[in-house]
Structure 1
Amino acid sequence: MLTSGVLYLYVLLFFVIKIIYCQTSCNCDQPDSDFATGVNLVYYKCDNETSATIDYPITTPEGLLNVLEDKRVIFYIFGFNQIANDSNVQLMLKALCHGRTDNVVLLDWSRYSNGFYWTCFKNAEKIGSLFARSIQLLVKNGLDVSKIYLIGFSLGAHIAGFVGKCNKFVIPRITGLDPANPLFYLPGCYLKSTDATWIDVIHTDMGGYGTFTFMGTAEYYANGGFPPQPGCKLFGIPLSPRDFCSHERAVELYAKSKRQPKEFIAVKCSSYDDYEENECKNNLHTGIGYNALNVTGTFYFSTGAI
């Protein structure tokens, strides 16, 4: 008779195999021009707390090259049930603008990010194809690939993956902030470790709104990665701010890592139990989020409520 732990592993393995198999459904074809209307790349001038912005259509982004400064370009992609003006999105953008260390560009897909999840997911795949083509146009017209850095939250993490899947050049880094849980929609195209040279993933709501699968080259688990995160409740009204608390914590942690570089230190470890017992063999320490080192493996770190 199978123990509950072994049964869980069999179920988990089934879904992981199913998710990997479904990667064959990735489609880089461009949607019709009407679909792209209202989807923009938004440049943030990062001049103050309410930074001025300039919008560039996703299909004709070349004008963005005229305003970019000679430094790295961070493209941020928000997730399901969010829009550009959400407080969680603005928290991230203000943090990225802090110190004016990078160019900051938002992929604004607000027109398609709300509604039934399965509809948003299929729309997100089309957004991913558009975004990949948009980055291709920017590179073709002079953007240095080595300066591209993509950060995606939830469903936005999977959108980011399309840039790597649908182009011949290699993106240096993608950060997935609690990538959306594939179990909500199995036959889809998801972020995977080959979409960029280095992919770091922060887990805060595994098995809830966030994925439990390995999608990066470095996986970071806040307080073990499972809900509830400190200060959050385990359950709430579905899709409510209370219910999203642990999921959105990944964004909050990244934002804080930008403003306070020494706040969070992760340790490479084989398991969360070993981390809690201070029995990590390697003892490799690294920052998280904005300050993460280019490392591989599984890392654990602790936080309080934010």
Structure 2
Amino acid sequence: MEEVDEQFISVYRNERNYKYLLYTRGNPLTPQIIIHGVVKSLTNSHFKKNNEIVFLVHGWFGNADNEMNRMLTNAFLRKKELNIIVVDWSELATRNYLTAKRGVVTIGLQLGLFMSWLNYEFGISYEQIHLVGFSLGAHLVGNAGRASGGLVKRITGLDPAGPLWKRDNNRLNKNDARYVEVIHTNTALYGYSEPCGDADFYPNGGTSMPGCWFNVCSHSKGYEYMAASVLFNHLVARECPSLKDVEQNNCFGQFYPMGNSHMSKSRSGLFRVNTGNDFPF
């Protein structure tokens, strides 16, 4: 039986033990490291304080340079000029699942404190911040938003992790930011099946995705759909009366875009969009 490595998690209560990696149009491929509490690490970088900030947070066994981070960094920077900050918590994320899961609250709190430092030291408004997390990272950004009093403008949870989260009060919920959007792509196994945001999108019904033969493929469609929607804003969903209607493709409500980079989203409810097999779907 796997055990939680509490000693390893305790190391992460020191914010110097993981990295914040900044990408902008001035440095789209090579990150600059921002260190919590070190003012010059930000003032000597390409960071522009009046631009939006998108934080990207990977999931279990992810890392700073994985496909999810590369895909989303590229999409956001192609769309508009902003600050991308990739949170690299890979040393903890590559431990056993129970340890990585337990670490979500710790890293989430530290990210909340980092945002609070940006707010206090540089006058960065929470209205400028969009947190995007995949799998365990979706719950992590929820904890970061909660630590900031729910003031963050927008959270997007990309197929939040399902295993062991159903009865866990630390999971992502709609009070974690001013607006919380969730994209569910693998409710069959890896993803969280219940609605947990203001708006919950279930592309293709949410269980398994077109073109996928394995659950891990459907799970990863969460960030692939997000990247496509940031670039083209074309994945327009329809509102559904219930989860049963979502599953049965019986949705005829108002249209509403899934994903994208807009900071002004506000609609709540259940939504379904049917996609193609291949990017941009």
TM-score, normalising length: structure 2: 0.84
Q: Is 248-257 or 54-63 further displaced after alignment?
A: 54-63
Partners of 1:273 and 1:166 lie apart in 2 by: 34
Q: Percent identity?
A: 28
Q: Is 287-296 or 211-220 further displaced after alignment?
A: 287-296
Partners of 2:12 and 2:186 lie apart in 1 by: 36
Residues 219-270 of structure 1, C-alpha deviations (whole Å, 9 max, x = no match): 001100002x111114xxxxxxxx41000101000001112222x1101111
User: Is the Cα contact below 8 Å between 1:39 and 1:58 reproduced in 2?
Assistant: no
User: Is the Cα contact below 8 Å between 1:148 and 1:173 reproduced in 2?
Assistant: yes
Q: Which one of 77, 85, 100 corresponds to residue 97 of structure 1?
A: 77
Q: Which residue of 2 aligns with 1:76?
A: 56
Shift of 1:35: 4.7
Shift of 1:185: 8.0
Larger Cα-atom Rg: 1
The one-letter amino acid of 1:36's match is E
- 1:269 and 2:240 correspond: yes
Number of positions where the alignment pairs a residue of Structure 1 with one of Structure 2: 265
Residues 260-301 of structure 1, C-alpha deviations (whole Å, 9 max, x = no match): 222x110111147656988545x3112111157420000100
- Cα 1:62–1:217 change in 2 (3 A) is farther
- Structure 1, unmatched stretches of 5+, are 1-29, 235-242
Partners of 2:227 and 2:109 lie apart in 1 by: 27
User: Is the Cα contact below 8 Å between 1:204 and 1:246 reproduced in 2?
Assistant: yes
- 1:286 and 2:264 correspond: no
User: Is the Cα contact below 8 Å between 1:41 and 1:57 reproduced in 2?
Assistant: yes
TM-score, normalising length: structure 1: 0.78
- 1:171 and 2:152 correspond: yes
- 1:295 and 2:267 correspond: yes
- Cα 1:87–1:61 change in 2 (3 A) is farther
Q: Which residue of 2 aligns with 1:36?
A: 15
Partners of 1:123 and 1:186 lie apart in 2 by: 17
- Cα 1:265–1:185 change in 2 (3 A) is closer
User: Is the Cα contact below 8 Å between 2:138 and 2:156 reproduced in 1?
Assistant: yes
- Cα 1:46–1:221 change in 2 (3 A) is same
Shift of 1:47: 4.2
- 1:181 and 2:152 correspond: no
Q: Which residue of 1 aligns with 2:227?
A: 255
Partners of 1:215 and 1:61 lie apart in 2 by: 36
Q: Give 3-state SS (helix, strand or coil) of 1:295's partner.
A: coil
Residues 134-173 of structure 1: matches in 2 within 5 Å?
A: 134-141=114-121, 142-168=123-149, 170-173=151-154
Q: Which residue of 2 aligns with 1:220?
A: 201
Q: Give 3-state SS (helix, strand or coil) of 1:289's partner.
A: coil
**Cα RMSD between the aligned structures?**
2.6
- 1:230 and 2:201 correspond: no
Partners of 2:76 and 2:132 lie apart in 1 by: 11
The one-letter amino acid of 2:185's match is T
The one-letter amino acid of 1:55's match is I
Partners of 1:213 and 1:185 lie apart in 2 by: 9
- Cα 1:275–1:219 change in 2 (3 A) is closer
Partners of 1:170 and 1:147 lie apart in 2 by: 10
Q: Which one of 120, 137, 147 corresponds to residue 100 of structure 2?
A: 120
The one-letter amino acid of 1:285's match is F
Residues 104-123 of structure 1, C-alpha deviations (whole Å, 9 max, x = no match): 11111122111210011112
The one-letter amino acid of 2:59's match is G
Shift of 1:64: 2.8
Q: Give 3-state SS (helix, strand or coil) of 1:129's partner.
A: helix
User: Is the Cα contact below 8 Å between 1:31 and 1:130 reproduced in 2?
Assistant: no
Partners of 2:183 and 2:156 lie apart in 1 by: 8
Q: Which one of 28, 38, 55 corresponds to residue 33 of structure 2?
A: 55
User: Is the Cα contact below 8 Å between 2:57 and 2:132 reproduced in 1?
Assistant: yes
